[in-house]
């Protein structure tokens, strides 16, 4: 599980302006004629657009749903987005098969430009300190090799554009862009509905107000839903990297790589044969220093970060930080010399894939080195203008539905939860929310329910809150687990990872819950692929009894190693204590 999703770029409205606005606009707004809607979605990011598409695509509900989507930005820019081939936007999302199936069901997937997406057929994840490695591949999942991969890397803009194209042919949804939400109030009668005041002077009265408006959600502040969370003191650097195509004896560029460095995970996500996307979570100071230096320095550091031992990477980071602080950012020549020296000192063979500077082997068309598949292709350059960074946060609201004064509101996507991008689940969770909320609204309408009522929305919270919480805390724990270099922890996590790597069925289960297998909401209509996968899983379970014996061996040696380590540390501590005593004497 390595990939990433970057938070939806929903309209970010400043909370301050919202508050001021509500003070400046007294009741006179309420007396004006309000336009009435059944659903108003605030935020034109992928999640908001997907919800509008999902609701609009249900043709049988056409007469029961009047939908509006409000976005502060200019959506026509996204609608007309047409980048030259070969260049890729830096914001990519790994859409799980579950997300893809959902997008297919609502009819927007066919508007995605497939040539600009790439399947992921294998994932390699390893420990930055111990190099313990886990591999997830298609065959382990029991999926046929010809199928569409475990996930598909798609530019966020490509996804947004497809949703906009789909909404163009969906008459029930009114798209209102370039309209800022000035304030949100509610009718001043008991049980009154929310009123959304736009800067254009329009007032939208709505049965259900959906907050798809990102981490600083104005809808959330209107509904007075509190949230808890923390910032990670980590910045994610993103960019699009150019590299040489993989050689003739190698698999195509469909493997995602992720290395857990103590400063944060670095992920390499293939988007085409010669371009891949980077998400590198690291310390804010290093992110600033790297962004300030030449792009080629970043390219060299990316190569080094996937290849060199942790001790060398720490040294290189210190060099870059020193240079940045002294006001003279490190040059390409300097960093090349440093990396080359580190490679020699670690005696990395010049024919090995682990050397990125010393050798030109990667450019030669000959037989690839034995370890060629262990690390991603060597990055040659960074596409101009694609380097960016953003801070990472963990945030989960205490509820998804507003109550009391803020009733008739519901939160989806980043407005409800912000997650560490290390497992690439952010937008997938948001699309999961949308799928579930659209289903709840549909069911409620069939039963004559009021879609803004607590009772109609309760199944949405019940289904999504725990599901999201589970994945969010798993990612949070992973981040914290890999943040440390403490020897016993490193040893334990490495043993854990290696055990996991041996247990195929457990791996398959993890991938299934991460959405690699498309899941339908109708439990009896499993498609044959899923059924085959389940069957394989059961069969593998039997096989695993044998593996378990082997694993027990691994655990034993791991624990022995751990014990030895502890003893060593004790001995060290004892000897240093002795030395100090001697000094005292």
Partner 1 sequence: MLPTRLLRSSTINASEIAHFSRLSAEWWNERGEFSFLHQMNPVRMQFIREKLTETAYDELPEEAVNARNVKILEGLDVLDVGCGGGLLSESLARLGARTTGIDASESNIAIAKHHASLDSRLSQNLTYEHAPAESLLQDPKRYDVVCSMEVLEHVDNPAMFLKTCAELLKPSGHLFLSTISRTPLSYFLTILMAEKVLRRVSDGTHTYSKFINPSELLEFFQKYRSPSPAAEDQATQIRPWITRLYNGEPTRKEAEIRGMIYNPLSASWILAPRGAWGATECNYLFWVRKPALIDAISS
Q: Footprint of partner 1 on this chain (CB under 8 A)?
A: 36, 60-61, 63-64, 187, 189-193, 207, 403, 443-450, 453-456, 458-459, 462
Spatial neighbors of 562 by CB under 8 A, at least 6 apart, are: 488, 491, 492, 495
How, if at all, do strands 227-243 and 275-282 pair?
A: antiparallel
CB of 550 to partner 1, least distance (A): 40
CB of 462 to partner 1, least distance (A): 6
* Six token digits for residue 283: 């310390």
Closest CB to partner 1 among 30 and 489? 30
Nearest CA-CA partner of 520 in 429, 417, 435: 435
Measure CA of the first residue to CA of the last residue in the chain; give whole Å: 56
CB of 399 to partner 1, least distance (A): 12
CB of 185 to partner 1, least distance (A): 15
Three-class DSSP category at 241: strand
Closest CB to partner 1 among 349 and 467? 467
Residue for token digits 């240093």?
A: 576
Closest CB to partner 1 among 449 and 496? 449
CB of 119 to partner 1, least distance (A): 37
CB of 301 to partner 1, least distance (A): 51
Closest CB to partner 1 among 203 and 279? 203
CB of 446 to partner 1, least distance (A): 6
* Six token digits for residue 308: 């060199």
* Six token digits for residue 241: 């990297």
- Give the DSSP H/E element, type plus range, for residue 287: helix 284-292
CB of 33 to partner 1, least distance (A): 12
Closest CB to partner 1 among 190 and 327? 190
Inter-CA distances, 245 with 88, 301, 362, 379, Å: 16, 20, 10, 10
Kindly report the number of other CB atoms within 10 A of residue 512's CB atom: 18
Closest CB to partner 1 among 318 and 443? 443
Closest CB to partner 1 among 187 and 360? 187
Torsion from C-alpha of 497, 502, 508, 509, nearest 10 degrees: -60
Contact yes or no for 434/468 (Cβ under 8 A): no
CB of 425 to partner 1, least distance (A): 25
CB of 458 to partner 1, least distance (A): 7
Spatial neighbors of 286 by CB under 8 A, at least 6 apart, are: 263, 317, 320, 321
CB of 523 to partner 1, least distance (A): 15
Rounded Cα–Cα distance for residues 582 and 585 (Å)? 5
* Chain centre distance of CA 565: 36
Nearest CA-CA partner of 54 in 15, 12, 99: 99
Closest CB to partner 1 among 18 and 61? 61
Q: Where on the phi/psi map is residue 83: left (φ > 0), alpha (ψ -120 to 50), or beta? A: beta
CB of 49 to partner 1, least distance (A): 24
- List beta partners, residue 94: 153
Phi first, then psi: what are they for 511, rounded to 5°? -70, -35
Closest CB to partner 1 among 66 and 178? 66
Rounded Cα–Cα distance for residues 298 and 335 (Å)? 10
Closest CB to partner 1 among 462 and 484? 462
E runs forming strands in 334-416 = 379-382, 388-397, 409-411
Instruction: Classify the C-alpha dihedral 474-476-482-487 as positive or negative.
Output: negative
Closest CB to partner 1 among 345 and 447? 447
Closest CB to partner 1 among 107 and 449? 449
Spatial neighbors of 239 by CB under 8 A, at least 6 apart, are: 90, 277, 278, 298, 382, 383, 386, 387, 388
Contact yes or no for 244/274 (Cβ under 8 A): yes
* Six token digits for residue 492: 């334990």
DSSP 361: G
Closest CB to partner 1 among 131 and 403? 403
Rounded Cα–Cα distance for residues 54 and 52 (Å)? 6
Rounded Cα–Cα distance for residues 304 and 179 (Å)? 46
CB of 461 to partner 1, least distance (A): 11
Closest CB to partner 1 among 416 and 445? 445
CB of 188 to partner 1, least distance (A): 12
């Amino acid at each position: 599980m390595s990939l990433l999703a970057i938070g939806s770029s929903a309209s970010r409205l400043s909370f301050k302006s919202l508050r001021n606005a509500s003070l400046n606009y007294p009741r006179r707004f309420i007396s004006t004629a309000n336009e009435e809607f059944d659903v108003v979605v605030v935020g034109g990011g992928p999640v908001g657009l997907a919800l509008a598409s999902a609701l609009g695509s249900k043709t049988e509900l056409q007469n029961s749903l009047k939908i509006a989507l409000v976005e502060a930005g200019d959506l026509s820019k996204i609608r007309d987005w047409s980048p030259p081939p070969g260049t890729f936007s830096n914001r990519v999302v790994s859409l799980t098969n579950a997300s893809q199936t959902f997008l297919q069901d609502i009819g927007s997937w066919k508007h995605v430009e497939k040539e600009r997406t790439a399947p992921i057929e294998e994932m390699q994840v390893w420990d930055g300190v111990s190099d313990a490695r886990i591999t997830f591949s298609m065959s382990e999942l029991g999926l046929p090799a010809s199928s569409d991969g475990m996930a598909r890397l798609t530019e966020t803009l490509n996804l947004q554009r497809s949703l906009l194209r789909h909404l163009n042919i969906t008459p029930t949804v009114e798209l209102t862009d370039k309209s800022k939400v000035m304030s949100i109030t509610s009718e001043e009668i008991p049980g009154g509905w929310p009123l959304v005041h736009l800067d254009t002077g329009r007032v939208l009265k709505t049965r259900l107000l959906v907050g798809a408006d990102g981490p600083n959600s104005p809808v959330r502040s209107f509904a007075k839903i509190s949230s808890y969370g923390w910032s990670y003191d980590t910045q994610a650097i993103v960019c699009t990297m150019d590299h040489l195509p993989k050689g003739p004896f190698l698999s195509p560029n469909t493997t995602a790589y992720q290395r857990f460095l103590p400063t944060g995970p670095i992920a390499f996500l293939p988007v085409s044969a010669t371009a891949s996307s980077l998400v590198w979570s690291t310390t804010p100071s290093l992110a600033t220093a790297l962004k300030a230096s030449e792009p080629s320095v970043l390219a060299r550091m990316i190569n080094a970060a996937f290849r060199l031992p942790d001790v060398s990477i720490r040294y290189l980071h210190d060099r870059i930080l020193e240079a940045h602080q002294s006001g003279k950012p490190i040059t390409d020549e300097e960093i090349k010399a440093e990396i080359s020296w580190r490679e020699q000192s670690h005696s990395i063979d010049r024919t090995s894939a682990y050397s990125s500077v010393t050798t030109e082997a990667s450019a030669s068309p000959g037989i690839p080195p034995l370890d060629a598949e262990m690390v991603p292709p060597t990055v040659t350059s960074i596409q101009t203008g694609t380097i960016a960074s953003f801070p990472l946060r963990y945030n989960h609201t205490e509820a998804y539905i507003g109550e009391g004064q803020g009733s008739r509101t519901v939160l989806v996507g980043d407005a409800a939860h912000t997650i560490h991008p290390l497992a690439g689940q952010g937008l997938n969770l948001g699309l999961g929310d949308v799928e579930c909320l659209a289903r709840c609204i549909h069911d409620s309408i069939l039963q004559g329910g009021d879609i803004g009522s607590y009772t109609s929305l309760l199944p949405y919270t019940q289904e999504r809150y725990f599901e999201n919480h589970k994945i969010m805390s798993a990612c949070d724990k992973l981040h914290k687990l890999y943040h440390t270099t403490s020897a016993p922890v490193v040893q334990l996590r490495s043993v854990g990872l290696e055990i996991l790597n041996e247990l195929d069925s457990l791996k398959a289960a993890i991938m299934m819950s991460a959405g690699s297998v498309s899941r339908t909401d109708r439990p009896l209509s499993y498609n044959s692929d899923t059924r085959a996968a389940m069957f394989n899983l059961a069969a593998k379970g039997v096989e695993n009894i044998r593996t378990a014996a082997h694993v027990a061996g691994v655990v034993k040696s791991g624990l022995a190693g751990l014990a030895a380590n502890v003893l060593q540390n004790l001995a060290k501590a004892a000897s240093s204590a002795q030395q100090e005593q001697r000094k005292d004497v």
